[in-house]
Amino acid sequence: MRTPSGLQALIDDGIIDAVLRPLKSGKEAAVYVVQRGDEVLCAKVYKDMAQRSFQARVQYQEGRKVRGSRAMRAMGKATKFGRKEQETAWKNTEVDALYTLHEAGVSVPRPHGYFHGVLLMELVTDDEGYSAARLGEVVLEAEQARWYHTELVRDLSEYNVLVTGQGPVIIDFPQVVSAAGNNAARDMLLRDVHNIRDSLARSAPELSDTHYGEEMWALYEQGELSAGSELSGQFIFAEGDADVAAVMESIEDARQEAIIRQQGREAAEQDP
């Protein structure tokens, strides 16, 4: 096939040998099956800024760390330089998350490098060697659904999970957020865990009565959540009215502390 413009630099540099076929195309990126020596990999080519909406990503970017106060200010003002920095930060977040998760033993595609803005990674296949189907495209037995739920309760969306004979594989990570720095982190965690629960409950109805997302967030708030935490799916919901004034006061205190820290960093950068 004709080499897509986003992959030509990798061909020219000898990083890949050929582009075999397109795999999928979404709002954020297009993915291709490529050849590198004897390996068949997939290459994720991010789409240009002009083709994508930054507004849809605002909630995910809150709380993410950006190198340099100049870049942070430019991103806040939406200048041309700021939009470029925002684009770079968005891509780097997924790359960093993929490497971190793979090193932690999470079932994700094995990364093979990041070149010219293109992420090279393992091609996930089924037992017959074909590109793996998405979770939402397959029918599971009840026992399979329970197994998948156990594996996936740490993540997320049926559209970002591929199905293989060895179990589910998680893909797509540009929506990774900071639990401590993003005010919408709890809502997004519950949404994604509930999505997986509700999808798999079609095959294993008893999963509908579990509350792993709420349990995980409660452990996180207590500083007790870790990769080895044993989860039960049971959660006791608090009764009574929330102390809204106290919550707003805590939020304002945190905001003021963040402003002071940022001012301190900027002052340090300006010192000769």
Per-residue pLDDT of 227-262, as tens digits, reads 777 888 888 887 766 667 777 777 777 777 778 877
Q: Which residue has the tokens 């200010």?
A: 73
Spatial separation of the C-alpha atoms in residues 4 and 32, rounded to whole Å: 9
Spatial separation of the C-alpha atoms in residues 83 and 119, rounded to whole Å: 20
Per-residue pLDDT of 126-147, as tens digits, reads 888 888 888 878 888 898 888 8
Domain 128-237 has CATH 1.10.510.10: yes
Whether pLDDT at 197 is above 80:
yes
Domain extent listing, the chain? 128-237
Find how far residue 247's CA is from the centre of its chain. 28
Average pLDDT over residues 103-129: 87
